[in-house]
Structure 1
Amino acid sequence: MWAIDQEVLVKSRARVKAHGEVFTPRSMVDQMLDLVSEDLQFVDKTFLEPAAGDGNFLIAILQRKLRLIERRLAKDLWGRESLFALASIYGIELLEDNHQDAKAAMLEEFAHFHTSRDVFLSPDTDLMRAATFLVNSNIVCGNTLTGLDWLGEEIALSWWIRDESDPGMVVREPFTFNSLRASAPAPDLFDYLVEPVRYVSCRIDHVHEEVRAGG
């Protein structure tokens, strides 16, 4: 399980000066999440960390959602619902080393939840492949202030919408981060899609297969 050293709040003075980088202690993370504890009672409730750092907020949110799943749902639903939990957590981080650390931490926490409960997991299982795909899609390297990624292009994300007729199915809807700041009302949000792409509804544990509509 990923552990954050609460004493290491600054990597270097140079990074603080250049980027204002100071990490939030886990105790403070927990206090802040306690303020939105009601929202954390829903697996699908979305969270976005605009300055993700090495993932301390993302991990804490995931841990709470996983505990919720374990407490409320039958074990045969844990795999599916833990993927929906991952799909609901987004992060944007400016610095590439932090970005990689955050993704690794999320996957380590996800894997630990399952393996510590006697669930077989390897990089080749659909569960882990789907988890890796969701983390890579939702946690991106970019600049929240400009809405651009490290290549200077619009930060691209996706909604993962649960199919109401089948709770194990998901529909992917791409969008740009800047669309969240647009002045258009919510019903017009998908006017800001990254590209005119539609994906076929699929099982959440097959989301890594990326089947496009009409493809």
Structure 2
Amino acid sequence: MTSGTTPVLQQRRQVVVKGDQVEVLVKSRDRVKAHGEVFTPAHMVEQMLDLVRPELETGPGFVDKTFFEPAAGDGNFLTAIFRRKLAAIEKRYAPKMWPTESLFALASIYSVELLADNHSDAQTNMLGEFVAFHVKHKVKCSPKTNLFKAAQHLITANIQQGNTLTGLDAAGHPLVFSWWHRILNAPPTVQREAFKLSSLRNADESLLDFDVLPTYPPCRIDHVHKGA
């Protein structure tokens, strides 16, 4: 690999080589023309996230501060946000709290992606970050564990394929997300409230259409997959 940052054209892909790292910025010219798809370089992602560092890492309630990415791509912003939250959780919480807080951090990150391959990559990358964090700390997180299943459920619910501008999913149905409210007097417990993405365009928060969508009983956040 070459040192420094070098743009390279490979099979119609625009990539950046930086040390041993390779970033794909453009998958194909056709995708740029059809969808305006150009990925943000990692260093620019980090610079932009530095601007909201209090919300991500240092401010009160940082774990539950929500972030919405309207065009997720392969999840480069999502994973960067999640990594910062996880690093802050390591510093500010006791190890026994890391599984619970990492799930709440995951529940705070939302996105929509138009293209199917990017959507799949974004979900896979987020789950990979979650599992890697717990494996590093020797916490069981195999596909058989509630921890893994809950994370997978949250990612599926929060990272969806569709069109942010129309508020519709790939099948033409309204995009439906969920708020995951932490119940303060029962820290591991969450209350799920579903809402349509289109309702966020209302200026009045009271107009979110919780009342016309399914309701869910409170449960432990590591059991959210059981109440799906």
Q: Give the TM-score normalised by structure 2.
A: 0.87
Provide the rounded CA distance (Å) in 1 between the counterparts of 2:135 and 2:213.
Answer: 39
| Cα deviation digits, residues 55-82 of structure 1 (max 9, x gap) | 0000000000000111111100000000
Provide the rounded CA distance (Å) in 2 between the counterparts of 1:110 and 1:164.
Answer: 24
Runs of 4+ in 1 over 4 A off after TM superposition: none
SS state at 1:7 partner:
strand
1:103 corresponds to 2:103: no
The residue aligned with 2:160 is 140
The residue aligned with 2:94 is 74
The residue aligned with 2:181 is 161
Provide the rounded CA distance (Å) in 2 between the counterparts of 1:71 and 1:6.
Answer: 30
% identical aligned pairs:
57
1:16 corresponds to 2:36: no
Q: Which amino acid aligns with 1:200?
A: P
1:33 corresponds to 2:49: yes
The residue aligned with 1:186 is 205
Provide the rounded CA distance (Å) in 2 between the counterparts of 1:105 and 1:38.
Answer: 24
Contact 1:156-1:194 within 8 A present in 2 as well: no
* Compared CA separation, residues 53 and 133, structure 1 to 2 (3 A): same
* Compared CA separation, residues 155 and 98, structure 1 to 2 (3 A): same
The residue aligned with 2:223 is 206
Contact 1:80-1:204 within 8 A present in 2 as well: yes
Larger radius of gyration: 2
Structure 1 residue 197: Cα displacement: 1.8
Q: Which amino acid aligns with 1:146?
A: T
1:7 corresponds to 2:27: no
Structure 1 residue 167: Cα displacement: 1.2
Structure 1 residue 119: Cα displacement: 1.2
Q: How many residues align?
A: 204
1:90 corresponds to 2:110: yes
Structure 1 residue 210: Cα displacement: 1.2
**Structure with the largest fraction of strand:** 2
* Compared CA separation, residues 8 and 196, structure 1 to 2 (3 A): closer
Provide the rounded CA distance (Å) in 1 between the counterparts of 2:35 and 2:137.
Answer: 40
SS state at 2:30 partner:
helix
SS state at 1:154 partner:
coil
Structure 1 residue 103: Cα displacement: 0.2
SS state at 1:43 partner:
helix
The residue aligned with 2:83 is 63
Segments of 5+ residues of structure 1 without an aligned counterpart are none
Provide the rounded CA distance (Å) in 1 between the counterparts of 2:73 and 2:207.
Answer: 31
| Cα deviation digits, residues 96-124 of structure 1 (max 9, x gap) | 00000000000000000000111122101
For the aligned residues, what is the CA RMSD? 1.2
Q: Give the TM-score normalised by structure 1.
A: 0.92
* Compared CA separation, residues 177 and 124, structure 1 to 2 (3 A): same
